[in-house]
A and B are shown apart, each in its own frame.
Chain A
Amino acid sequence: MDCEYFERWLDEGPGETPGAEGHAHAASCARCGAALAAARALDAALERSAIAAPADFAERVMERVARARQARLLAWIEPEVLPWWVRAAAEPATALSLALAALVSWQYPVLARFTVAAFQALASPAVATFMQQLAAPRFTLDLAAFSDPFVFTGLVLAGLPFAWWAGLAVYHWSGDPQAPRTAWR
């Protein structure tokens, strides 16, 4: 056994045994003998060394646990806790969209009359003015269809999913940058 092999064995760990040949080498080589003694002392020190948690560590953990328990109803903001579809359903934008869709389905005639009246009172003059300004010969796009309140309402409803998606994106983008991004399970 040479010094290089002996040192390699030392670095393999305490579970490995050098055998009689290794011990004989350590006895005959002062450098490897010192290395063996250092390795044994190191192993002993590693076995004995430990770190103690700060005082009141457990109490502070339990305080946080109590707070976490109270806040668990809001746990949908924790990415790991609930499935994605639960968190998506809990988004305020989703709830608003569903409420609006239900209202439209349930009270469609009333809403339609209200929409027409509101559009005629507020939007129609503005749209007419806008259309007159766009009546230049070089602009041929016909926007008259947008003046129909039903088309207008339909476009708004069609845009709700995109609004929900954008709201979700902004929500995640504006989240705490220190929050964990790594799933640990």
Chain B
Amino acid sequence: MDLVRPDAQEALIRPLVGRARGGDQAAFRELVLLHQDRAYGLALRITRSPADAEEVAQDAFVRAWLALARFRGESSFATWLHRIVARRALDRLGELKARRGREAAVGETESLPDPLFAVPGAAPGDFEAATRGRRLERLVMRLPAAQRMAVTLYYYEDRSVEQAAAILGMPESTVKTHLARARAALRAAWQKEGL
């Protein structure tokens, strides 16, 4: 499970970034291990396809590696990486929509394999928590893309509204609106399904 908390572990990450910028692949591998779950999760929540999410996340890491020399540390590495993942995932989503249409992408949500969703802190036998987690994920996956990204960054990535706005390239007010609408939709579905 991913251990990275964006604010708390930046000090741990910064030396790794410095070494990776110098061409140290071992350091970059550490960065991949620290960020892979969140990067993959963000890509999955945007693309709603495990195969596409893996491709997008891997591609984002490779692009980050190639562009590390241009990373100036003005934002955290995680924010910078997530911006790459989000843009790549949005590009991929646009391609998928153009190719298959939106309905097909929604249909894929139902075929997401259960082991993708892990509930931190849940005991192995805690089926109720696991089931709730999976059902919640499915509810999140049904949100429109903009709301899905806002929820993903704000809740799952522990980003502030300001950081989410920077990653998504949106005004903060827009992110707040997406969050409010997503919460309303999720809460309604949550109550409807009796979770």
B residues near A75, Cβ cutoff 8 Å: 66
Q: At the interface with chain B, which of A47-55, A95-103, A154-162? A: A47-55
Residues of chain A with a CB closer than 8 A to B77's CB: none
B187 touches A52 (CB 8 A): no
- The docked-state distance in angstroms from the alpha carbon of A53 to that of B58 is 11
Q: Chain A interface secondary structure, helix, strand, loop or mixed?
A: helix
Q: Whole-angstrom distance between the alpha carbons of A170 and B191 in the complex?
A: 56
Interface magnitude class on chain A: 35 or more
Q: B residues 61-79 with Cβ under 8 Å of A?
A: 61-63, 65-67, 70
**Interface residues of B, count at CB 8 A:** 60
> Can you sample 29 A-B contacts with CB below 8 Å?
A11-B183, A11-B187, A12-B176, A13-B179, A13-B183, A38-B190, A41-B190, A42-B186, A45-B136, A49-B119, A50-B1, A50-B37, A50-B119, A50-B156, A51-B40, A51-B41, A51-B137, A51-B156, A53-B41, A53-B57, A57-B57, A57-B58, A58-B29, A58-B36, A61-B62, A64-B58, A65-B28, A68-B62, A68-B65
Residues of A whose CB lies within 8 Å of any CB of B are 7, 10-13, 34-35, 38-39, 41-42, 45-54, 57-58, 60-62, 64-66, 68-69, 72, 75, 78, 80-81, 178, 180-182, 184-185
